[in-house]
Structure 1
Amino acid sequence: MHVVVNAAMSADGKLSSRRREQVRISGEADFDRMDALRAASDAVVVGVGTVLADDPHLTVKDDERRQRRLDAGKSPSPARVVVDSRGRTPTDSAVLDDAAETYVCVTEDAPTENVDALAERATVVPAGTGRVDLREAFAALESAGLESIMVEGGGELIFSLVEADLVDELRVFVGPRLIGGRDAPTVADGEGYVADFPELELEAVERLDGGVVLSWRIESDAAV
């Protein structure tokens, strides 16, 4: 399995405002780059917080890319995966429509009524208790044939994936905008590190949309 985290942040490292409302940070060129990355992936992963805040569709937008996937014997868009410990994803969410297959990763102690409702619209993947065991969940996704994974956020999920040693690449668009706010989400939220900080190796730098795309590799000794 190969896992790529893709994000867009302001020049001061924020994903959105302190109100956690969606802020447009990048432009059309970066949206196209993201769409190309989606089209090359087997699955797109987000946390339930992203679903609740933005209700994303997570599908490939470009018709030619969709057709190329069809020509290759794939669905028009990659599978969608929501990491959702308590099964809080609303059943009318865009990610649960029939545009692509959807997996919802929950815990074994998630409320039964939530899990049952989601199971009517998606493949439910139980993994761990209390909070989703990401290594167990990703192993199940790999067993389902999902080898190339794109993670689109949010910051809590990204931090947890890095902490679980599951991320291979980090691609970040840094936009020409300041957002500020000590409570505004960042690319890697969660508890944070106080030692043994993950080391990144810079692989590429690309100017785009008045900002820059930084592509980093994260060295990992673990295997899913």
Structure 2
Amino acid sequence: MRVVVNAAMSADGKLSSKRREQIAISGPDDFDRMDALRAGSDAVMVGVGTVLADDPHLTLDDPERQAARRDRDESAHPVRVVADSRARTPTDARILDDAATTYVLVSESAPTERIEALESSGARLVTAGDERVALTDALSTLEREGFDQLMVEGGGELIFSLFEAGLADELRVFVGPKIIGGRDAPTLADGEGFVSEFPELELADVERIDDGVLLRYSVE
């Protein structure tokens, strides 16, 4: 399964402010590009922090892209996936509505009552790992479900974990014309950080979009 990480960050590398509130970094052309990438993916993934902060829907905006997926005998929207070790996703989160199928990846440490609540809300649970989601095992399960391309939309903890596990194949990042600042503001890759054996990227393409630039990297 090909894992494509897609993100928008400020010129100083921030995903949002220190309050972790959603900030418009890119413009309409980049939003359309992101929608097209979603349409071409089997599933779209975020971490639970993104769900708690932004309550995303992760569905397609363009009706024509929805229709094109149906013409290919696919669902109108890609499957949605949440990495959520402790099953903290709220049962009323938009990502759990009936617009698309949603998988929640949890660890063995997730409370039973939370797992039952998510299952009652229609989520499909995948358990992998003891204290934290074992992403390699969880994504292997998704691949066995028939997913060929997984689009990852953040946040920084999940993106770091995917690079740490060697699971990311491509990074597409829009760099917008904003300075956000703040030592506690989330960055493209948070987590514990690397101190050696840094993941190496190869620049594949540069494109100006809106008032920013899209960088496409392949992971070596």
The alignment's TM-score, normalised by the length of structure 1, stands at: 0.97
CA RMSD of aligned residues (A): 0.5
User: Partner residue of 1:222?
Assistant: none
Alignment of 1:205 with 2:206, yes or no, is yes
**How much does 1:145 deviate?**
1.0
Looking at structure 2, the residues matched to 9 and 147 of structure 1 have their Cα atoms a distance apart, in angstroms, of 26
**Unaligned stretches of 5+ residues in structure 1:** 220-224
* Residue correspondence of structure 1 range 4-19 to structure 2 within 5 A: 4-19=4-19
Looking at structure 2, the residues matched to 144 and 171 of structure 1 have their Cα atoms a distance apart, in angstroms, of 25
**How much does 1:54 deviate?**
0.3
Looking at structure 1, the residues matched to 14 and 153 of structure 2 have their Cα atoms a distance apart, in angstroms, of 14
Alignment of 1:216 with 2:202, yes or no, is no
* Residue correspondence of structure 1 range 45-64 to structure 2 within 5 A: 45-64=45-64
**How much does 1:17 deviate?**
0.3
Amino acid at match of 1:83: A
Can you list the C-alpha shifts for 1:20-68, whole angstroms capped at 9, x where unaligned?
1111100100000000000000000000000000000000110110000
Looking at structure 2, the residues matched to 204 and 186 of structure 1 have their Cα atoms a distance apart, in angstroms, of 22
User: Partner residue of 1:131?
Assistant: 132
* Residue correspondence of structure 1 range 15-26 to structure 2 within 5 A: 15-26=15-26
Matched residue of 2:86: which SS? coil
Looking at structure 1, the residues matched to 143 and 197 of structure 2 have their Cα atoms a distance apart, in angstroms, of 28
Divergent runs of 4+, >6 A: none
Looking at structure 2, the residues matched to 146 and 85 of structure 1 have their Cα atoms a distance apart, in angstroms, of 21
Matched residue of 2:95: which SS? helix
* Residue correspondence of structure 1 range 102-181 to structure 2 within 5 A: 102-120=102-120, 121-181=122-182
User: Partner residue of 1:2?
Assistant: 2
Looking at structure 2, the residues matched to 211 and 105 of structure 1 have their Cα atoms a distance apart, in angstroms, of 34
Matched residue of 1:3: which SS? strand
The alignment's TM-score, normalised by the length of structure 2, stands at: 0.99
Amino acid at match of 1:19: R
Can you list the C-alpha shifts for 1:108-163, whole angstroms capped at 9, x where unaligned?
12100000111121100000111000001000111111110000000000000000
Alignment of 1:35 with 2:35, yes or no, is yes
Can you list the C-alpha shifts for 1:147-200, whole angstroms capped at 9, x where unaligned?
100000000000000000000000000000100011100000001111111110
User: Partner residue of 1:190?
Assistant: 191
**Unaligned stretches of 5+ residues in structure 2:** none
